[in-house]
Amino acid sequence: MFYKKYRRLLVFILSALLGLLSSLSIPAWSNSSSQQVRNSQESEKLSTPQLPITNYQLPITQSPALDLAREGQQRYNAGQLEAAAKLWQRAAEAYQKAGDREGMSKSLINKSQALQDLGLYPTACKTVLQALAIKNPACSPNQIDEVQKTFAQQQGSLSLTQGIGLHSLGDILRKQGLLQQSQEILQLSLSAMGESPAKSGVLLSLGNTQRLLGNQSRDRWDYDAVTEIIDRKSLADALAPYQQAFNYYSQGAKLASAPAIPKIQAQLNHFQLLLDIQKWWGEQTQRRIASWTRFNEADLIQRAQDFLSQLQSQLNQDAQALQGEIASQLGNLSPSRAAIYAQINFAESLMQSEQLDKVEPVLSTALQQARNLQDRQAESYALGYLGKLYQKQGKFSQATTLTQQALMLAQEQNINGDAREVTYLWQSQLGRLLRKQGDSKGAIAAYTAAFSTLQSLRSDLNANNQDVQFDFIQEVKPVYVELVDLLLQSNLSAEELNSLIVSNAGLKEQKSTTKQPQERLELARRVIESLQLAELDNFFQDPCSETTNVAVQIDNIDPHAAVIYPIVLPDRLEVIASLPGKSLQEVKIPISEQKVNETLDRLYDNLDNASINTSARNIVFTSNPDPKEFQDNLQTLLPIFGEVYNWLIKPFEAELDSNKIQTLVFVLNGRLQRVPIAALYNGQNYLIEKYSVALVPSLQLINPKQLQRRPLKVLAAGVSEQLKVQGEYFAALVNVPKELDQIKQTFPSSKKLLNQEFTAKTIQKQLQANFPVVHLATHGLFSSNPQRNFIITGDAKSISINELSTLLRGQDRAVELLVLSACETATGDERAVLGLAGMAVRSGARSTLATLWPVGDASTTKLMGQFYQDLKQPGVKQADALRNAQRSLLESLKQNPPFPQLKNLPPHPYYWAPYVLVGNWQ
């Protein structure tokens, strides 16, 4: 049965009437996980799945098909989704046998809705296409394009049932991340609605799709583009991505025929969107104010403050108007599950906007209605959010009691279904409350249970629904970090710790490659590893990393390497070091998270922040650089690199020396990800002068085998000409031909593709010859938004990270090494290195070599030439080859500095430090 393995999304269904689609629709936050009610930024509360249309415009006379359809409706209303889907399938077959095409279509649309609720989007899509009389439904992008064209030609004559089917299809496409196609299909659905009350639901869906398209557009802005909007104080540009969503929400709420539920859905989503926009721009503006404050840029600071004040004033005015309308309408809703969740939704938004005094009456009403209706799931939510409110108010004892009650109810739901996505929420909330009350042992138990739940969900977090995302930073990541914090602070023995770990926690089940008991440091290390994997999955909205159920140790990979795990906690920095054959070592640095971030921000501002006039990036790319400015910049940077060295390396210097460690491997998170680790400075030398350096997202992703050198051949492609791609100019890389020629000379069996020879098609064709190394010398970008991960090809086109990954997976053998010699990570993006790590993981490449910021192609050509010469030598690791190449650049800069004033200073890291090796370093 295809229902056996699925993520059962929480289903919130109206229990009134038989569900005439023309008059009722499911709440905007229904049909999904707990995050919908939590109002997460991308939550599925944005969706607007419709109540099934059983009996819509059907004759009242009884028939076997109608009986099946009505029973399906009853099962659906009771949350029995599998049974409902099967009954509607039988009803569709009965209608088909009776020659009733309309009845068959409606039953199939109903079945499709149940499949959506089960999270089975591909199957739901095929079912609704069948309802729309599409032959051989496969739901491929090409077929969806054909469906759109076909129905567009019939736009003036579409029936209401066809419009309803298209509405369902549009929602499915949004959930699968096909936003443009979702928008086009929903526009067709809207044209079929006339003045039907169902029109309000379509407008709501269009608003939800446009909101996600708005997020997509906004996330394509780079650091400089956002800075420019702030500097120009352009409210219009700041809000531009969301204007269409605002319009659709307003239209859906104001539609005269709109039923109460979809009307308030539109208002709730509109209200939440205003809060989310305000939060995003507040964070972005404060980040720039912090940078400008460090450089006494008073004018820029004032402009930023003016911008934020004006934007907040406008958004607050709109939000207050909506809040008043929502509050007045909530009281008029008849008690139902839809009304309960609307109130919880509203309460969460009020908490987000710090209006705590208005929350308790709303949640108390929701709780009482849930109890009157004997709706245990709704009662769990109401209790849990009351607990969250009391926690915010400092009423910890009451909050704990309510959270425990909410958790018990959620766990009851797990007996007959899958309520993990709400269970983890209350488990982590309970952990926070117990910790605040000094019960660290109980807190560890609660957080471990939450960790267990998240681990069991890991492959499901984003597998089916592209616009259902856990609010990773706000909701998921803290579970891992809090658990690590508690473990590192605890004095519990291994036996006590193991007694707290539930049997399915993912920690206890995981096989260890050592016979030692699981100490707190080992548990903490493995939680951090799990966090890295979860963050990668969240980054791609896809569980792209396959791992074994084994606790991987550095001993099994490289006896001459050590792994450094920096963990930034609110009140301190903890660093765990893993050396072969040794117990884990731990160092506590008494520096707050705020101070750590301020230090790393100063490093970034002076090194690569394009909005700071005296950053190294701006000085280097000035037509006539000022030597004194460059000297001052270096003398500012070196103490900061020294401070980070003292955090991460100095505490372990003796151990590293005595164990003859040659390679340092870093598992980084947060702002540390944008630090060029090779440039850490001990007062005399850079780190790269003593150690080879590599970055890994997790040891569990490392294949311990070394690169097979013989016969080694490289697919080397590059672009040397200036190109204009999608309106943006990319400068000529005049040294690329020399770079490719060097590779061809070093490895004669290599293949070279230059300029027009370098296209997606030629890469695909050449990869059939199984190249272990792929070298791409072209402009490219990696960022925390997969939409902004791309490389430029010689035919003036771009290849996305997903397209390139698909190409690389096309050859029989996995790519050993992917080199991106002219790519860079997005300016100011601390999660951009995830793009590099993810590229390797997604494409099957064992490692990736790229750069953190733009570098001159002449120095890159020199470095790459040396890198491949070393890589050719038997037994030389990739990290060692990169180290030798960087040291060669260092020596060259010492002998021939760019300015005479730098003769007696260490070579500036901007010229040699951006090169990073991510993944397998061997």
Q: Six-digit token pair at 73?
A: 């409706």
* Residue 504 confidence (pLDDT): 38
What number is the average pLDDT over the span 87-113?
Answer: 92
The answer on 727 and 606 residing in a single domain is: no
Check residue 902 and give its pLDDT.
84
Same domain, 68 and 203: yes
Closest by CA to 347, choosing from 272, 424, 432, 405, is: 272
Q: What is the mean pLDDT of residues 697-724?
A: 78
287, 315, 330 - which closes a domain: 330
Statement to judge: residues 723 and 695 lie in one domain = no
Which residues 6+ apart lie within 8 Å of 548 measured at CB? 700
DSSP 8-state secondary structure symbol assigned to residue 394 = T
Q: Are residues 611 and 720 in the same domain?
A: no
Give the Cα separation of 386 and 406 in Å (integer).
10
Q: Is residue 535 part of a domain?
A: no
Of residues 604 and 33, which shows the higher confidence score? 604
Closest by Cα among 568, 597, 400, 590 to 485: 568
Percent of the chain whose pLDDT exceeds 90:
52
Domain boundary among 174, 195, 217: 217
Question: Does the structure show a pLDDT above 80 at 51?
Answer: no
| Residue span of the structural domain in which 774 resides | 714-876
**Average pLDDT score over residue span 891-909:** 89
Helix (H) or strand (E) holding 776: strand 773-782
Q: For the chain, first and last CA: distance in Å?
A: 45
Tell me the two tokens of residue 361.
Answer: 């009456």
CATH number of the CATH domain containing 791: 3.40.50
730 three-class SS: strand
What pLDDT was estimated at residue 900? 86
In a domain, 424, yes or no: no
- Which pLDDT band holds residue 124 (cuts at 50, 70, 90)? very high
Q: What is the pLDDT of residue 175?
A: 84
Has residue 650 been placed in a domain?
Answer: yes
Residue 339 has pLDDT above 50, yes or no: yes
Residue in the block written with tokens 């490219």? 780
746, 832: one domain: yes
Q: In this structure, are 198 and 242 located in the same domain?
A: no
**Chain segment 748-793, per-residue pLDDT in tens:** 999 999 999 999 999 999 988 889 899 999 988 877 666 677 889 9
Q: Is the separation of the CB atoms in 719 and 779 below 8 Å?
A: yes
Same domain, 199 and 263: no
pLDDT at 699: 73
Residue 571 belongs to domain with CATH number? 3.30.420
Asked if residue 322 and residue 179 are part of one domain, the reply reads: no
Whether the CB-CB separation of 200 and 255 falls below 8 Å is answered with yes
Domain annotation covers residue 396: no
- What is d(CA 230, CA 308) in angstroms, rounded to the nearest whole number? 8
594 within a domain of the structure (yes/no): yes
Least confident of 387-401, 403-417, 483-497: 403-417
Q: CB-hemisphere CA count at 13 Å for 850? A: 34
Q: Is residue 451 part of a domain?
A: no
Chain centroid to CA 212: 14
For the residues of 82-108, what is the DSSP string, one character each? HHHHHHHHHHHHHHHHTT-HHHHHHHH
Last residue of a domain, one of 701, 735, 769: 701
Handedness of CA 393, 394, 399, 401 (dihedral sign): negative
Residue 27 resides in a domain: yes
Strand 790-792 relative to strand 773-782, pairing: antiparallel
Say whether both 156 and 234 belong to one domain: no
Inform me whether the pLDDT recorded for 92 exceeds 90.
yes
- How many CA atoms lie less than 13 Å away from 667 in the CB half-sphere? 28
Least confident of 231-245, 534-548, 842-856: 534-548
Amino acid sitting at position 389: L
CATH number at residue 142: 1.25.40.10
**Does residue 440 carry a pLDDT above 70?**
yes
Supply the pLDDT for residue 595: 95
Helix (H) or strand (E) holding 714: strand 714-718
CB-based contact 534:454 (threshold 8 Å) = yes
Which comes out higher in pLDDT, residue 15 or 546? 546
| pLDDT of 538 | 65
pLDDT category, 517, cuts 50, 70, 90? very low
For residue 546, give both structure tokens: 């396959």
Q: Count CB neighbours of 624 within 10 A.
A: 4
Q: What average pLDDT does the chain have?
A: 83
Domain containing residue 241: CATH number: 1.10.132
How many domains does the chain contain in total?
Answer: 4
The answer to whether residues 148 and 11 belong to one domain is yes
Look at residue 47 and tell me whether its pLDDT is greater than 50: no
854 occurs within a structural domain: yes
Name the residue with tokens 């499949």: 115
Do residues 144 and 47 both lie within one domain?
yes
25 and 71 assigned to the same domain: yes
Most confident of 115-124, 476-485, 879-888: 879-888
Among 371, 583, 571, residue whose Cα is nearest residue 482 = 571
What is the DSSP pairing of strand 663-666 with strand 585-589? unpaired
The residue-averaged pLDDT of 86-103 equals 92
Q: Which of 301-310, 348-357, 375-384 has the lowest mean pLDDT?
A: 375-384
The CA distance from 347 to 367, in Å, is 12
* Predicted structure pTM score: 0.82
Question: How do beta strands 798-800 and 790-792 pair?
Answer: antiparallel
The pLDDT of residue 24: 25
